[in-house]
Amino acid sequence: MDILLKYFSDFTHAQVEQFKSLEGLYKEWNAKINVISRKDIDSLYEKHVLHSLAIAAAFEFPAGLEIVDIGTGGGFPGIPLAIYFPEVKFHLVDSIGKKLKIVEAVKEAIGLQNVTTQHARAQEIKNRKFDFAVSRAVAPLKDLLQWSRPLLKSSAYTFESASGQVLLHSGLICLKGGDLAQEISESGAKPRMIEVSSLFQEEYFREKYLLYVKK
């Protein structure tokens, strides 16, 4: 938990309590349904929660936005982002139902009001549009773009950053690692890339990236 406070100083008391609760909940549920590797569960805050919050460190989502988390697994990046942005609605989607059982249990336990779940593949979602799609190491960029584009609204938002006002168009924001040159080339997209190591200095975040592709 301390590693979160190292980078984020503006949590409310309620957010601190919600983040604190994650470790016990995930350890308890992971013993029943293995969604986080045994070696990673002890590094939950660094490798899963803080990694998810790289999106919050780089982007500001205004209240009222709707975001779909494609292939959320046990709830990453969706659960940490939903805690961080309580006025934003998150729809967490996965094709494996037992993983969503954990998401639902965590959501109920910490009182997250802004999370819904759906047992489906992204391409099966009908009659819903979102401002952004987020994802964490689920599939190649080419596939993520193909799945997310039909789900995205055509809209734009402004938010204040350290360097001034930023205009952000609806799009896909995904967390990726390693050498992405071939994957990006095959996608045909020209994503904006942010090195996670420029946000968080731990060794774990070397060669990890945020990719943003506007619709």
66-88 pLDDT, tens digit each: 999 999 999 999 999 999 999 99
The model's confidence at residue 110, banded by pLDDT at 50, 70 and 90, is very high
128 is in an annotated binding site: no
pLDDT of residue 76: 96
- Give the number of other CB atoms < 10 A from CB of residue 5: 12
Q: Was 178 annotated as part of a binding site?
A: no
Q: Is-contact 130 153, C-beta < 8 A?
A: yes
171: annotated binding-site residue? no
Residue 71 assigned ligand-binding role:
yes
**Which residue from 211, 214, 207, 200 is spatially nearest to 45, judged by alpha carbons?**
200
Res. 120: pLDDT tops 90:
yes
Contact yes or no for 65/88 (Cβ under 8 A): yes
Tokens of 64: 């009222």
CA nearest neighbour of 78 among 66, 69, 89, 88 = 69
**pTM exceeds 0.85 for this model:** yes
Contact 102, 127 (CB under 8 A): no
Helix (H) or strand (E) holding 139: none
**Closest to 56 (Cα-Cα) out of 22, 87, 94, 101:** 87
Q: Has 14 been labeled as part of a binding site?
A: no
Q: Structure tokens of 115?
A: 């999370």
Q: What are phi and psi of 47, to 5 degrees?
A: -85, -15
Strands 192-195 and 156-161: unpaired
pLDDT tens digits for range 140-162 = 999 999 999 999 999 888 877 76
- To the nearest 10°, the Cα dihedral for 146, 59, 52, 132? -30
If we measure between CA atoms, which residue out of 31, 26, 74 comes closest to residue 52? Answer: 74
Domain annotation for the chain: domains and CATH numbers: 2-214 (3.40.50.150)
Neighbours of 101 (CB within 10 A): 17
pLDDT score of 23? 94
Q: Tens digit of pLDDT for each residue in 8-61?
A: 999 999 999 999 999 999 999 988 888 888 778 889 999 999 999 999 999 999
